[in-house]
A and B are shown apart, each in its own frame.
Chain A
Amino acid sequence: MSVLKTEALKKYYGKDPNTVKALDGVDLAIQEGEFVAVVGTSGSGKSTLLHMLGGLDTPTSGKVIVGGKDISGMTDEQLTIFRRRNVGFVFQNYNLVPILNVYENIVLSIELDGNAVDKSFVDNIIETLGLSEKKNNLPNNLSGGQQQRVAIARALATKPSILLADEPTGNLDSKTSQDVLGVLKMTSAKFHQTMMMITHNEQIAQLADRVIRIEDGRIFAAEGR
């Protein structure tokens, strides 16, 4: 069963004759538990695709089906709740709240949905990501790699069914990138998450079960391990 699906997905920006076709008919199906890397040059439409899948932006035409539900017709309010419950995001910029400590940052989005924190689950994540000793630190006392691990922990803590990562190691050096991504792969497998990651780095794309290449708003190749 595919947890994520797009049908003839299109996103055009601007008006004729200056239309930019960011996505030009993308058909994609991602299976439960799969780890997919999307590779493409900048401007190929890969970020737009991720935004559509995560309900951060609405398509010009076509469908985005998440867990059997078409989200392309949802209102902004519905989308907000959809994202909170279904999607975990990891961005290039860690987007941590500077005045909250590591633990508070991680549980923030759980508390936003008015839920009680599953403490043993969160502790398990913190332990797995090697953050136990940093729990009470403020983000600005952490290295880039550590901050990104906090962002990953935050994304996992709400138990989302899908994890979307946009250039998660874009701000990290190559060694730290390999370290952080290994942990991202390990945790997503451990907590049974479906993951889509955007990258332009071929080295890093090797970690995925499947690599999808996108160019000019279209998928032109897919290969897997």
Chain B
Amino acid sequence: MALAVTIITAIAICFLTVLFSYRYIKKTFDSIDQVLDSVLARNTELAFEVAADNRLSKLTHKAVKIIQMNTMDISQTKQEKEIIQSFISDMSHQMKTPLSGVAMYTNLLLEGRITEAERQEFLSRVKTGTEKLQWMVDSLVKMSRLEVGAIELSPVPTGIKQTISDSISTVYSAAAKKNISIQTAYFEDVSLLHDRKWTGEAITNILENAIKYSSVGGEINISVETLPIYTKISITDYGIGIAPDEWNSIFKRFYRGRNAKGVDGAGLGLYLASQIFQKQGGYILVDSKPGKYTTFSTFLQNCKK
């Protein structure tokens, strides 16, 4: 009798256990199914509590994160598209002025009823216009390649000394014309993660600016200093300087500083430079006192030992 009761109880317990496990599993799967449905519908308003201390909540939280990542990717693609669109419209706008100048002077020259002095004047204006266009097209090609990602920078461990001296040679004649001396403080060569060609381009742009905004007979200083993660390359000139409220703007595409009026330029050099450093995991900072000095500090990653 007692044995029979025990057996029946045991069977009943087994049955109940199976029943409850079955219901628990079903409930769990239903919940997971519900969470996945929300993911599919990109619905972040999930039915379950995101901030509770249980497994379903953790799962829900991860689902919400997946949806957010997805949305982020979409909006990023959209943003990139907008950047390219605004780039194209900026670009065409910027080219219009020199182009219409060239067109106007060419017409005047073709009409022919002008003095020799005028002819010379118009020809030299056409020349300036075409030079400006040439320079802009060059920069724009570089820029568009960088922006569209057509060019992959390949930052590899490379000595920085050669890169810097390449840039100095590029600007040497421009500096000599204004009798500006470029001084580099002594440093041990270090291997930094960078793409020599593009980094050289960026440093050249900064040096060209330094020369452009320095007075005749001035000086430009370059120094290199290795920190734990980055190496800092600083370029200082003692020219017109940049007011603090413009520090963030000068790296924008087509931005010209308030002090830069009357100096030739298109607002592309620093923009390109900052893009080049960013794409290599580095960055640029500026420090300046108007009328006293301007320092551009560029940072490149050290190679891991």
Residues of A whose CB lies within 8 Å of any CB of B are 1, 3, 31-33, 67-69, 74, 77-79, 81-82, 85, 113, 115, 127, 129-130, 132, 145-146, 149, 161, 175-176, 178-180, 182-183, 185-186, 192, 202-203, 206-207, 211, 223-225
Contact = CB atoms under 8 A, between A and B. Distances in A.
Given A68-B45, A69-B50, A130-B228, A161 B286 contact: no
Contact of B227 (A132, A176, A224): A176
B252 A207 contact: no
Nearest to B300: A182
B68 A3 contact: yes
Given A68-B45, A161-B65, A223-B248, A179 B72 contact: no
B2 interface: no
B299 A178 contact: yes
Nearest to B225: A175
A200 B286 CA distance: 16
Contacts of A185: 283
Contacts of B232: 175, 178
Sort A-B residue pairs by CB-CB distance and give the 3 closest, nearest first.
Answer: A78-B51, A32-B72, A179-B227
Contact of B251 (A3, A113, A149, A225): A225
A85 B58 CA distance: 9
Contacts of B64: 67
Given A32-B68, A82-B51, A182 B229 contact: yes
18 contacts: A1-B75, A31-B75, A32-B68, A68-B44, A78-B52, A81-B57, A82-B50, A85-B61, A129-B229, A130-B228, A145-B228, A175-B225, A178-B285, A182-B230, A182-B283, A206-B286, A225-B248, A225-B252
A6 B247 CA distance: 28
Interface residues of B, number: 41
Contacts of A183: 229-230
Interface of B: 44-45, 49-53, 57-58, 61, 64-65, 68-69, 71-72, 75-76, 225, 227-230, 232, 244, 247-249, 251-252, 274, 281-283, 285-287, 297, 299, 301, 304
Contacts of A211: 248
Chain B binding surface, main DSSP class: mixed
A112 to B, nearest CB: 11
Given A183-B229, A185-B283, 16 more contacts: A67-B68, A69-B50, A81-B57, A85-B51, A129-B229, A130-B228, A132-B304, A145-B228, A161-B68, A178-B299, A179-B230, A192-B69, A203-B285, A207-B283, A225-B249, A225-B274
A74 B50 CA distance: 11
In the complex, which of the residues A77, A129, A180, A186 has the most CB atoms of chain B within 10 Å of its own CB atom?
A186
Nearest to A78: B51
Contacts of B49: 78
B71 A1 contact: yes
Nearest to A33: B72
A88 B169 CA distance: 46
Contacts of B50: 69, 82, 85
A202 B244 contact: yes
A179 B228 contact: yes
A67 B44 contact: yes
Contacts of A206: 247-248, 285-286
Contacts of B282: 182
